[in-house]
Amino acid sequence: MTDFFAGIEPVRFDPEAPADALAYRHYDPDEMVGGKRLEDQLRFAVAWWHSFAWPGGDPFGGQTFERPWFEDTIEAAKLKADVAFEMFGILGQPFYCFHDADIRPEGANFSESQRNFEEIVDYLGEKMQSAKTKLLWGTANLFSHRRFMAGAATNPDPDVFAYSAATVKSCIDATHKLGGQNYVLWGGREGYETLLNTDLARERQQAGRFLQMVVDYKHKIGFDGTILIEPKPQEPTKHQYDYDVGTVYSFLKDFGLEGEVKMNIEQGHAILAGHSFEHELALASALGILGSIDMNRNDYQSGWDTDQFPNNVPEVALAYYEILKMGGFTTGGTNFDAKLRRQSLDPMDLVAAHVGAMDICARGIKAAAAMLEDGGLETARAERYSGWDGAAAQEMLKSGTLDSIAERVVSQDINPRPQSGRQEILENYVSRFV
Ligand code: XUL
Ligand code: CO
């Protein structure tokens, strides 16, 4: 036991807890919601990087957090793992996620980094034997080290492509070994700062080949988790190739991977792309590629990826509505890719942030389940499109031609009568649940 969380007890569901007590007031893991236990429906995960590796910097200042494991040594990495699993014990959430660089010290070369990584992966494996926490996904950090400054798979230098391929291989191996349920690729620097020095067509080809290699390797080693791409339009690069769900889908089609790869959709990234979270979820669901979510929001004033814990029930409810509508998560879950504000120095801040976020998600998904069960939105949608249920409309869609349709418009004097979209009525409806 470390003393990092000294005095903080495991958090329990207690809707009657005193106002200043740390408790889940809405998240009861055993409550049945939408036909499943809430824990199995939400599938919460803690992100290693923000919670245990991030030092609290911003563009104007460096580290604000002082953590006893902030050293690049194996001993410190093990201490960090001890503290992480202590927090998992306090929160009781079922999953966690990591990048290679979050958990191991960087070595002098690839082989040394790999040895460090393997040692810590084994350490995590041992800890997981006595903890209930499982691995939702692993991923490779191909964006922090300076070698990746011009991209990983899309780098102009083939040696960086090779180094990245070796790194991803080792991260898939580790994810497989730890029983991870997904493997995520977020192309943090797979994009460009300026087109003046960029061969966009070539970089896109490299990214496609890289992803084909990832999928081939997954099958080769028998990893049956889901490969997920996490779209983001920009930051850190000015333009990122995995811009949004629609862009990534056309990329997958281009490289024959649409049946192999799904999406990990992050709330804040959707907003950066000029969409709502529910738009990205609804589109991915319609395309059959909705896999998992990163449930962290941006500050709407700063317009940047501030990775804040969720705190807005109506937003969260509309997101879970799309997830429940598709039948819920399979291998995916709700990862808090969220960091504290840099003044939130105390261990208690870290625990309270997750507890609050889990409660917000519980409220959101319960509202979503109630809306889905009530069926008001689906009935309204069905009514709005009911004209398409008729045989003539279906026939037109299937085998109509512009000239045959034009003939019918004239012969039947088709003269459309505009109908109300009933937006305010539907907004009032949603407000009753959230
Ligand atoms: C960055 C981001 C990443 C990915 C994993 O914006 O979301 O943390 O989730 O690499
Ligand atoms: Co993310």
Q: Is the minimum distance from the CB of 305 to ligand 1 under 6 angstroms? A: yes
Domain annotation covers residue 18? no
For 84-135, the pLDDT digits (tens) are 999 999 999 999 999 999 999 999 999 999 999 999 999 999 999 999 999 9
Q: Is the minimum distance from the CB of 280 to ligand 1 under 6 angstroms? A: no
Contact call for residues 207 and 241 (beta carbons, < 8 A) = yes
306 plus 408 within the same structural domain:
no
Distance of CA 391 to the CA centre of its chain: 41
Domain annotation covers residue 12? no
Q: Is the minimum distance from the CB of 139 to ligand 1 under 6 angstroms? A: yes
The residue to mutate among 46, 294, 295, having the most atoms of ligand 1 within 8 angstroms of its beta carbon, is: 294
411 plus 369 within the same structural domain:
no
The domain boundary, picked from 348, 374, 400, lies at 374
Phi, psi (5° rounding) for residue 297? -105, 165
412 plus 296 within the same structural domain:
no
- In the prediction, which pLDDT does 11 show? 98
Q: Using CA atoms, how far apart are residues 134 and 93, in angstroms rounded to an integer? A: 9
Q: Is the minimum distance from the CB of 242 to ligand 1 under 6 angstroms? A: no
- In the prediction, which pLDDT does 186 show? 98
405 plus 289 within the same structural domain:
no
The residue to mutate among 52, 185, 190, 230, having the most atoms of ligand 1 within 8 angstroms of its beta carbon, is: 230
Which residues have a Cβ under 8 Å from the Cβ of 166 and sit 6 or more positions away? Answer: 110
Provide the angle, in degrees to the nearest 10, between the axes of the packed helices 423-431 and 313-325.
100
186 plus 325 within the same structural domain:
yes
Domain annotation covers residue 3? no
Which of ligand 1's atoms lies nearest the C-alpha of 266? 7
276 plus 404 within the same structural domain:
no
349 plus 423 within the same structural domain:
no
In sequence order, what E strands does 122-185 have?
134-139, 182-185
The residue to mutate among 52, 136, 167, 232, having the most atoms of ligand 1 within 8 angstroms of its beta carbon, is: 232
- In the prediction, which pLDDT does 303 show? 78
- In the prediction, which pLDDT does 304 show? 86
Calculate how far, in angstroms, residue 186's C-alpha sits from the geometric centre of ligand 1.
6
Q: State how many domains the chain has.
A: 2
In sequence order, what E strands does 1-119 have?
32-33, 36-37, 44-47, 95-99
Which of ligand 1's atoms lies nearest the C-alpha of 307? 6
299 plus 426 within the same structural domain:
no
Q: Using CA atoms, how far apart are residues 316 and 310, in angstroms rounded to an integer? A: 8
Q: Is the minimum distance from the CB of 337 to ligand 1 under 6 angstroms? A: yes
Q: Is the minimum distance from the CB of 294 to ligand 1 under 6 angstroms? A: yes
- In the prediction, which pLDDT does 236 show? 96
49 plus 102 within the same structural domain:
yes
Residue with CA nearest ligand 1 atom 4: 186
Q: Which ligand is nearest to the CA of 186?
A: 1
Contact call for residues 336 and 309 (beta carbons, < 8 A) = yes
Q: Which domain holds residue 404?
A: 392-431
Domain annotation covers residue 382? no
How crowded is residue 310: how many other Cβ atoms within 10 Å of its Cβ? 23
326 plus 425 within the same structural domain:
no
Residue with CA nearest ligand 1 atom 3: 186
Q: For the chain, how many helices (H) and strands (E)?
A: 16, 14
Calculate how far, in angstroms, residue 195's C-alpha sits from the geometric centre of ligand 1.
24
Q: Using CA atoms, how far apart are residues 359 and 310, in angstroms rounded to an integer? A: 10
Residue with CA nearest ligand 1 atom 5: 186
Domain annotation covers residue 27? no
Domain annotation covers residue 216? yes
> Can you give the CATH number for the domain in which 361 is found?
3.20.20.150
Domain annotation covers residue 245? yes
409 plus 268 within the same structural domain:
no
- Note the pTM of the prediction, 2 decimals: 0.97
How far is the CA of 190 from the CAs of 31, 67, 126, 329, 394, in angstroms?
42, 31, 34, 28, 43
Domain annotation covers residue 191? yes
For 198-245, the pLDDT digits (tens) are 999 999 999 999 999 999 999 999 999 999 999 999 999 999 999 999
Backbone conformation region of residue 266, classed left if phi is above 0, alpha if psi is from -120 to 50, else beta: beta
Q: Using CA atoms, how far apart are residues 26 and 358, in angstroms rounded to an integer? A: 8
**Which residue numbers in the chain have pLDDT < 70?**
none
For 372-392, the pLDDT digits (tens) are 999 999 999 999 999 999 999
- Taking the CA of residue 348 as centre, how many other CA atoms within 13 Å lie in the half-sphere pointing to its CB? 8
The residue to mutate among 142, 143, 186, having the most atoms of ligand 1 within 8 angstroms of its beta carbon, is: 186
173 plus 245 within the same structural domain:
yes
Q: Cis before residue 236, ω within 30 degrees of 0?
A: yes
